[in-house]
Structure 1
Amino acid sequence: MSNLVPVNVPDIGDVSDVDVIEVLVAVGDTIAKEDALITLETDKATMDVPASEAGTIKAIHVRVGDKVSQGSLILELEASQEETPVEVEAKKPENTQTQAATNAEPAQDEIVEEYVEEAVTESEEKALVVPDIGDASDVDVIEVLVADGDQVTKDQGLIVLETDKATMEVPAPEAGTILSITVKVGDKVSQGDTIGRINSQTTVKSSVPDQPAKSASTAVSAPVVSTQAASSAKRAPVPEHPQMKKRVSGSVVHASPSVRRFARELGADLTKVSGSGPKGRVLKEDVQNYIKFELSRPKATAATGAFSTPQMPSVDHAKWGNVEEKPLSRIQKISSVNLHRNWISIPHVTQHEDADITELDEFRKSLKDEAMKDGVRLTPLAFIMKGLVHTLKAFPKFNASLANDGENLILKNYYHIGVAVETPDGLTVPVIRDVDQKGIYQLASELGEISAKAREKKLSADDMQGSSFTISSLGGIGGTAFTPIVKWPDVAILGLSRNKMQPVWNGKEFVPRLMLPMSLSYDHRVIDGADAARFVVHLSQTLNDIRRVLLK
């Protein structure tokens, strides 16, 4: 007849509402007593909850993410129907007493000797020292993983050290009870330094066989003691459990509390991280390598990746009124991915400045009719592009890209300017090449041609690649200022708003001047605020007197 046994969380100290981070068994599994069932994580350590009985799992009442306390129901199992030594005593009291009284058969002495030898342990207080950590010394202690009184297993992390090259855990040399930890976060240690003391326990052989014969009660109870001792000794090699072997294959994660906390801070999914430690254990370096890989590979949507924002909740807008769902255009879908990536990965700063383009616009208007005879529509943007190149030559850092290693700047000796063009399907950014080598008329002509190609969806991939700087002009629409998003791999973008006549003080009186609002957004990893301010001032002065482009 089956015996359904509930298995509850045992005494886990003074903690409650502890996170379940791993479930190590499944319904139908056959387990032995003391096999690990679930793994719990507190602020100080992770711990496995062992089985109190042997048997077959019939129901599991917890899952990963649940919180449990002492006494919480974990699962139910059908206990094995094996006879215990106590049951043997109840069924055969006379035989047991006779064997104990005579104490004449060597086989009985051998049984007593075997069990007592396994059960006896010795405690020894030992110092915990920093092991060989290479040629590093005075290494920072960045985390203490245990506290006084904690029970630890062999190789469990005690403290975490950080050098210039790596982060490493100092493991427990053997299982036992932590008596004291003498270091704290911020201390510096070297190889051989004492970091605390441990009360270790070692199983030894007993000298019981040399003692006088045991009484009947002793002979019967010896196997019971031995069973408990064997179970206690079995707690350490938990990885031999079949479910633990499944963890190594990747379905469940081996990682220390510090690594789990590090992964949570970076938003890394540990189930996707390949562990390089013993038995597939995930190390801090594995998490770092995973994050680097995720950042380097292209993403399918704007909301994926290690640094993605939480997913927005689904909203039924129709319950408030009539709605219509319209799909995004292909250009909008592509732009959303690129813009999201650029916004979260490039630290943006925007510098605003007004440029006096009164004389520039008067000069443009004087050439307007002449240009129209050649079929050219002369716009202010062609003049601004020439002035921009003049300023880029004075500030080459703005005509550059940051190398993928983040440690080098790629300065470009060409001036290919990307120009944002509005189309019915969204914004595109075709590129005008070699702006420094072309005249105003040619630039105006190419601007008209490439804008028409964009609106007619005839741009090639090459037409939109290779820019060294970008301009986004909203002058034909309006607005006073805005913050354009830097288009990677450029390090800056110039936003132009609608120009307007406004009074400007010339030292004696207010005079009407045509002012152009400019907004320069830049990658703060490459460009600092002082350089950005000098750049827009230089550009403003150049546009104020376009003849400056002839000076260099």
Structure 2
Amino acid sequence: MSALDVTVPDIGDFTDIPVISILVGVGDSVDAEDPLIELESDKATMEVPSPVAGVVKEIKVSEGDTVSMGSLVLILETEGAGDAAPAAQAPAESPAPAVVDKAPVGMAPPAETQASKSGVANVNESGFKKAHASPSIRAFARQLGADLSQIKGSGRGGRILREDVTEWFKGTAPAAAASGAPAGASGGMGIPPIPVVDFSKFGPTEDVEMSRIKKLSGPALHRSWLNIPHVTHQEEADITDLDKYRKEMDNQAKTEGYRVTLLSFIVKASVSALKAHWEFNSSIHPDGDKLIRKGYYNIGFAADTPNGLMVPVIKDADRKGIIEISRELADLSAQAREGKLKAPDMQGATFTISSLGGIGGTSFTPIVNAPEVAILGLTRSKMAPVWDGEQFVPRNMLPMSLSYDHRAIDGALAARFAATLKHLLGDVRRLMH
């Protein structure tokens, strides 16, 4: 038997991630790829898998510890193992949110709720920082003005869960009302939260746990919505000829085991539009006075999964053709549905596409995925009569909803970007250049 040090593999740009669960014990036998510990960052939960089969000899971390790439997790006894686990192996990741849970570039994070503004919680900052809670729960507590130092966790090892925060808040609401302060008088950024209502007095109710994706992505979406001055520009593109060509490609692709969807062409057209209007491929500089112009084109796309929306990223989309993009879309979508996406698969997007075409709708207002400055929403195409100068002819029209950060992009530029997309999609030959 040999002793093998198991370390945290490459987990992307994350550092000092809390350990939220130890999934094995000393003496346990594990197989290769069995999860050993669970980590939770602002963006996602991640399981660190065993690189080989063996028996757990010693555990080197505890719940609540923080780890980074290369941190020692545990020691395995193995048959003929080497001296160290391969640190570059990527972890299996559980479902993560459609957006990066970080403060938008150029904007400070929401101010911490102060007792002078809240009327709900006299927050003990020292206790708050030491509380046994994940980053998403801390964000949720700050939005409600809840003092984590006063909350007893019901999770494993006393970990504070979302329902613990909610129950604590319900208990403090009557006291706040009695003191003359409205319940939850100040939430994130000084905005009053929605009042707590006992719905059971109106009829039967049931608490249904939200998926982990929604729990993690909710605070990020809320922050983006509050910090970014959103504007949504609506446009329609004539995809009649393009869709005929797509169906021809798809018929051939099906014989080879993959599909060619409209999204592949939208990705290709978006890259061309981003090159023509670079501001859409930028981020706001932290000083707020400059734009960071990016020389790469990574396109995120919202993938519908049983646990919620996830946003995989097609890297270097400008270097790929329709067939390669189609294969990658299918592969990443399958991994998202199976919960097998890794952190790097969801990082580095410069522009995001959210398509509801397979479900329906006529338009919607997608939320910009900060620190990006724009997002394209698509709904189901429809046959419509279009005037060709002499008569109305049936054309297949695709509704497009382009949301953008008005600090970086003005209305005229947004209209030009949408017009470029419309022009490109109107003739498939333009996408081949």
Shift of the alpha carbon at 1:422?
1.0
Report the equivalent of 2:397.
515
Counterpart of 2:192 in structure 1 is: 310
Deviation of 1:321 after TM superposition, in Å, equals 1.1
| Other-structure match for 1:438 | 320
Amino acid at match of 1:303: Q
RMSD of equivalent CA atoms: 2.0
Counterpart Cα distance in 2 of 1:503 and 1:482: 22
Given that 1:376 and 1:441 are in contact with CA atoms closer than 8 Å, whether structure 2 keeps it comes out as no
Is the CA contact 2:113–2:143 (under 8 Å) kept in the aligned structure 1? no
Q: What is the SS of the residue equivalent to 1:300?
A: helix
Aligned to 1:451: 333
> In the alignment, is the contact (CA less than 8 A) between 1:492 and 1:522 conserved in 2?
yes
Residues 1:376 and 2:221 are matched in the alignment: no
Query: Does residue 342 in structure 1 map to residue 224 in structure 2?
Result: yes
Number of residue pairs matched? 262
Offset from partner CA, 1:371-395 (integer Å, 9 cap, x none): 1222221101001111111111100
> Does structure 1 residue 351 correspond to structure 2 residue 191?
no
Give CA deviations for 1:35-74 in whole Å, capped at 9, x if unaligned.
xxxxxxxxxxxxxxxxxxxxxxxxxxxxxxxxxxxxxxxx
Shift of residue 311, structure 1, vs aligned partner:
2.7
2:415 corresponds to: 533
Q: What residue in structure 1 maps to residue 139 of structure 2?
A: 300
Deviation at 1:270, TM superposition (A): 7.4
Measured in 2, the distance between the counterparts of 1:487 and 1:314 equals: 29
Cα distance change of structure 1 residues 323 and 498 upon mapping to structure 2, 3 Å threshold: same
Point out where structure 1 has 5 or more consecutive residues left out of the alignment: 1-265, 273-296
Report the alpha carbon displacement of residue 327 of structure 1 after superposing the two structures with TM: 1.1
1:404-483 matches, within 5 Å, as 404-483=286-365
SS in structure 1 of the partner of residue 342 of structure 2: coil
Structure 2-normalised TM-score? 0.58
Q: CA deviation at 1:269?
A: 3.2
Check 1:306–1:376 CA distance in 2 against 1; reply closer, same or farther (3 A cut): closer
- Tell me what 1:205 maps to: none
Offset at residue 271 of structure 1 (A): 6.2
Provide the residue aligned with 1:360 in structure 2.
242
The alpha-carbon distance between structure 1 residues 382 and 508, as it changes in their structure 2 partners (threshold 3 A), is same
Specify the alignment match of 1:496 in structure 2.
Answer: 378
Aligned to 2:348, the other structure's residue is in SS state coil
Deviations 1:308-332, CA, capped at 9 Å, x for gaps: 4213222111111111111111100
The runs of at least 4 aligned residues of structure 1 exceeding 4 Å deviation read: none
Which residue in the other structure is 1:543 paired with? 425
Give the secondary structure class of the aligned counterpart of 2:286: coil
Tell me how far apart the structure 2 counterparts of residues 465 and 517 of structure 1 sit (CA, whole Å).
Answer: 28
Point out where structure 2 has 5 or more consecutive residues left out of the alignment. Answer: 1-110, 118-134, 145-186
User: Per-residue CA shift, 1:321-358, capped at 9, x if unaligned?
Assistant: 11111111110001111100000001100000000000
Matched, 1:326 2:208: yes
Q: Deviations over 1:461-484 (max 9, x none)?
A: 111110000000000000000000
Show CA shifts across 1:257-288 (max 9, x none): xxxxxxxxx9973769xxxxxxxxxxxxxxxx
Alpha-carbon displacement from aligned partner over 1:429-465 (angstroms, at most 9, x marks no partner): 1101111111111111111111111111111111111
Conservation of the 8 A alpha-carbon contact between 1:387 and 1:546: no
User: Cα–Cα, structure 1 residues 358 and 269, in superposed 2: closer, same or farther, change >3 Å?
Assistant: same
Bigger Cα displacement from structure 2, 480-489 vs 302-311: 302-311
CA contact (8 A) 1:484 1:521 kept: yes
Structure 1 residues 331 and 267: CA distance shift in structure 2, 3 A:
closer
Give the secondary-structure state (helix, strand or coil) at the position aligned to 2:390: coil
Partner of 1:390: 272
Structure 1 CA distance for aligned equivalents of residues 245 and 211 of structure 2: 40
Q: TM-score, normalised by structure 1?
A: 0.46
Secondary structure of the corresponding residue to residue 258 of structure 2: coil
Larger relative contact order (C-alpha < 8 A, sep ≥ 6)? 2
- Cα distance in 2 between the residues matched to 1:435 and 1:536: 19
